[in-house]
Amino acid sequence: MRSDDTQSEGLVFDQNGGLVDLGAELRALLGLAIPVALSEIGWMTMSIVDVIMVGRLGAAAIGAVGLGNAIYYAPAVFGIGLLLGLDTMVSRAWGARDFTQCHRWLAQAMYIVLAFTPVLMLFMVIARLLFTAHGVDSLVAVYTRSYVGILNWGTFPLLVYGGFRRYLQGEGLVRPVTFALISANLVNLAGNWLFIYGKLGMPAMGVNGSALSTVVSRIYMAAVLMYVAWRHERGRGHRLFAHWPGPDWGRIRVLMNLGIPAASQIILEMAAFGAVTIMASHLDPVALATHEIALSCAAYTFMVPLGISAAAAVAVGHAIGAGNLARATRAGWMAVGLGIGFMSLTAAAFLLVPRPIIEIYSRDPQIISMGVRILMLVAAFQIFDGCQTVATGALRGLGETRFPMLTNFAGYWLFGLPLGAILCFHFKWGLQGLWLGLTVALIAIASLLLRRWRGGRLHAPGKPESAMKQDVTA
């Protein structure tokens, strides 16, 4: 990468000879990363609360909520992933202090939301029938169909929330996002209590009540972020909705060129872990249960580097928009360091106290014994998983989303999953073989993404937006 700064005796100077305050840059990055990481944890907590709240209704209700979320989650995440291009374009415009351009990018994202919401909702209608047609308990199937049917009405506010979240993050406003998700968890909790069990005069809706509560919480999240954006822009004298632009097909194409690969990468990764779960289901019940526990541990800790990844995209975009290529480079490497540092701590916990962690989920001696061994692999898995997701965010700040998608596909589907299957079933390594395949895949993915970041092409200072758009579409 090019650098506009120089180093002398451990000190870093900018192109004008001024001393760079690395501590201030790190604090600014943490100021972005911590609230976003908390938001990601809040997002995961919401689905966990749903499962807990329906627990009193029996196994069929728990199964329906779990299956319903599995059906709904992947297409919904793909829809949100289509908006990830806002990380790149809004942060660049904000870094250049061109607030009008920020508004225009948001508007085009909302047109994408309007176009894709009906498509996603129709997909959900078909998917809930397909995935409950055969081999699913009849009561679970009935509950799941009605649950997804209600949950589907929350698709539009969910995507609106996703767009406004990326817009606010792109401008460095991350605390409102954290507030929206934390308070939405309280709204969801109260809604579950009211609608599932029929409190305060409400009818007891059971599983459907949980879905309704989730829809209400998503409407709430979208409304909060829209209000925050409107109020913030009004205070700056740039009224958000006063001169709302019409569709701009060039900008929509730019966002789609960035968003489709980013969304596809997310789906590929989710599908890879789904494939491992399917393979684990062909082992004994102890192995499958252990796999689910290990996956739950890895998924929860993953929320922090996922937040750092979003912060990296924004920080890199801000620096590029301001024409400071060296700061963009430092922001990316600082973010990678934060991600590796956090995951090293969680890896140490998995190595040092694996038994108490497993016992949170199960007291079965067989699961504990196998889980202790698997968490040793998860510890190594953690570090490279954190590294690759943060590097993906930094590259997204550059406008690079295709390479991470292709690397993800090759790492998991051409290398890691086949290796895991061979080790598991041919060499009889069982669950350890599957997780070793995932770990080796992540080592390869992280290495390639870091190499790409190190040799990445940064946009030159002062480059006009039209040229940046051409770069993205190239």
pLDDT tens-digit map of 364-392: 899 899 999 999 999 988 999 999 999 99
Does residue 297 share a domain with residue 192?
no
Domain termination residue (choose one: 221, 247, 273): 247
Instruction: Give the CA angle between residues 86, 95, 113 to the nearest 5°.
Output: 15
Q: How far apart are CA 332 and CA 315, in angstroms?
A: 8
- Residue 252: closest CA among 82, 87, 402, 93: 82
Residues 268 and 241 in one domain: no
User: Are 101 and 200 in the same domain?
Assistant: yes
Q: Enter the pTM of the model.
A: 0.83
Amino acid 85: pLDDT? 92
* Dist CA 274 CA 146 (whole Å): 24
- End-of-domain residue from the set 247, 275, 290: 247
Q: Is residue 6 assigned to a domain?
A: no
The answer to whether residues 64 and 132 belong to one domain is yes
241 with 281, same domain: the answer is: no
**By C-alpha distance, which of 447, 303, 301, 448 is closest to 379?**
301
- Does 170 share its domain with 268? no
Considering the domain architecture, whether residues 235 and 300 belong to the same structural domain is answered as no
Residues 236 and 278 in one domain: no
pLDDT exceeds 80 at position 197: yes
Asked whether residue 255 is assigned to any structural domain, the reply reads: no
How many structural domains does the chain have? 2
5 in any annotated domain:
no
Asked if residue 282 is part of any domain, the answer here is yes
Are 357 and 423 part of one and the same domain? yes
Whole domain around residue 118: which residue ranges? 19-247
Q: What is the four-CA torsion angle of 229, 231, 235, 241, rounded to 10 degrees?
A: 70
- pLDDT (0 to 100) of residue 467: 42
Same domain, 322 and 212: no
Of 247, 277, 297, the last residue of a domain is 247
In this structure, is residue 86 part of a structural domain? yes
Answer whether residue 7 is part of any domain: no
The pLDDT tens digits for 389-435 are: 999 999 999 999 999 999 999 999 999 999 999 999 999 999 999 99
pLDDT value, residue 221: 94
The pLDDT assigned to 361 comes to 82
170 and 112 housed in the same domain: yes
Same domain, 229 and 342: no
Place of tokens 């996002």: 177
pLDDT score of 237 more than 80: no
Residue 408 within a domain = yes
Pick the most confident of 21-35, 48-62, 268-282, 427-441. 427-441
Cβ atoms 62, 55 nearer than 8 A: yes
Say yes or no to pLDDT of 463 above 50: no
Residue 14 counted as domain residue: no
